[in-house]
Structure 1
Amino acid sequence: MHIYFLQHSPLFGPARLADWLTGMGHSHNHCRLDEGELPPPLANCDALVLLDALEPPEAALLKRERKLVDRAMKSSKPVLGIGYGAGLIAESLGAIVSPAVQPEIGWQPLTLADESPFDLPETFEALLWHRDIFGLPDGCLPLGSTPAGPVQGFAWDLGRVIALQWHLELTAQDTTALCDHDLPTAANIPTIHTRDEMLRDPKRFDRQAALLDRIMTQWLEYR
């Protein structure tokens, strides 16, 4: 399969996603919307991955991107969105994306939803980095929740489309760069962790890699 990434920021690249695809024999390419590149035609890929963003692309590019997402949703091709990309999927399905009362930045415990179609542990830890929330669109299955966020992801169309607030793709190096450029100063806010809290245990990133493998394998099996 050939997978296309839509990238919105140098801080949120394909990361482990690209490594996983290459290791499994898939090819991939990416469009740098943050550098003014136009989204590709849907016919150029077998699956689409919408990466996170610190801010949306400029208006004309965003309009093109939304059209591509709508076409992908109506196709039979797998679609995966992370963070901002998950929000684009939620909006395409009629949900509202809004600022979170409690931004979640750091390692958070997630509880797998009973309705989740994915084979994941009942509870697990994942790295979150988001300031927006969305509701569960009609016809979607919830994937998991945190104490501060009841909808941390959902699946649609039997798992062909996935929207995630979790950053399973991030490595320690990626997280270090995010901490250097986007970590807010927030004292005593439990949902925002310090740089040290996020980076002190490298094994956390290894456990994330195992979860990513399970998600990606099951996602592409729905093709």
Structure 2
Amino acid sequence: MHVHLLQHSPDHGPARLADWLSSMGHSYTVFYLDDGELAPHSGDSDALIVLDGDEALLTRPPAWQRAEKKLIERYLDGQKPLLGIGLGAHLIAEALDATVAPGTYPETGFHTITLADSTSFDLPEQFAAFMWHRTVFSLPDGATPLGGSVAAPLQGFAWDAGRVVGLLCHLEATRESVATLLESQAPPAGHDDYLQPAEEMLATPGHFDQLAPLLDRLLSQWLRPAS
């Protein structure tokens, strides 16, 4: 399969997604939308991944985002797999008429997700994932929930029998990608109960290693029907 990835910022790259795609024999192309690259055509790939980015793009969308939103709508109307992470999930939720708004608490660092009873995701009942968000979304009509953390009760959703997936949390994060993020961006501001200190995020490399099998399980489920 050939997969297109839409990148909104040099600080929010594919991270472990690139390694996983290559290891599974898939080819991929990254489109740097923030650097002036045009959004691709939906017919040019077998699946689309919309990466994270600055949440300010939700309230102050640049001109190039119009083409990106049209591309997301084409994928929603089609049959090809679509995955959104962070900002990408917000854009998909918006296209599905879900509510996208600031949550009660910002959330950064590693936090525990409890799988929803009604979920369609085949993942452990509890697992830790990396978080970096202030904005959340409601469950789109016809979607099933992933589950939630204490600060954000909805950490993801699956729509159209799992063909479309939106993730607020980050399973693709690596120690290197988080270090890059911390060097270039301030964490979301707000109540600090769920804001993990930067040194604590990076202190245990094993936390990032534990994300790898979770990402593998999720991506394998997402792409299996299209393979």
Shorter-chain TM-score bucket reads over 0.9
Q: What is aligned with 1:77?
A: 80
> How far apart, in 2, do the equivalents of 1:113 and 1:59 lie?
35
Q: CA offsets, 1:32-59, max 9 Å, x none?
A: 0110111000011100000001142853
Pairwise CA distance, 1:106: 0.8
Pairwise CA distance, 1:205: 0.5
Q: What is aligned with 2:159?
A: 156
> How far apart, in 2, do the equivalents of 1:15 and 1:186 lie?
24
Q: What is aligned with 1:18?
A: 18
What is the aligned-residue identity percentage?
49
> Counterparts in 2 of 1:32-51, with a 5 A limit?
32-51=32-51
> How far apart, in 1, do the equivalents of 2:7 and 2:211 lie?
21
Give the alignment partner of residue 150 of structure 2, picking from 147, 151, 165. 147
Q: What is aligned with 1:168?
A: 171
Q: What is aligned with 2:127?
A: 124
> How far apart, in 2, do the equivalents of 1:153 and 1:185 lie?
19
Pairwise CA distance, 1:150: 1.2
| Counterpart AA for 2:141 | D
> How far apart, in 1, do the equivalents of 2:167 and 2:127 lie?
14
> How far apart, in 1, do the equivalents of 2:201 and 2:188 lie?
14
Q: Is the 8 A contact 2:11 2:181 kept in 1?
A: yes
- Bigger shift: residues 1-10 or 110-119: 110-119
- Bigger shift: residues 48-57 or 209-218: 48-57
Pairwise CA distance, 1:187: 9.2
Q: TM-score, normalised by structure 2?
A: 0.94
Q: TM-score, normalised by structure 1?
A: 0.96
Pairwise CA distance, 1:188: 7.4
Q: What is aligned with 2:140?
A: 137
Q: What is aligned with 1:198?
A: 201
Unpaired runs of 5+ residues, structure 1, are none
4+ long deviations beyond 6 Å: 185-188
Unpaired runs of 5+ residues, structure 2, are none
| Counterpart AA for 1:81 | G
Q: Is the 8 A contact 2:106 2:191 kept in 1?
A: no
| Counterpart AA for 1:62 | Q
Q: What is aligned with 1:8?
A: 8
> How far apart, in 2, do the equivalents of 1:60 and 1:205 lie?
35
> Counterparts in 2 of 1:54-93, with a 5 A limit?
54=54, 55-56=56-57, 59-93=62-96
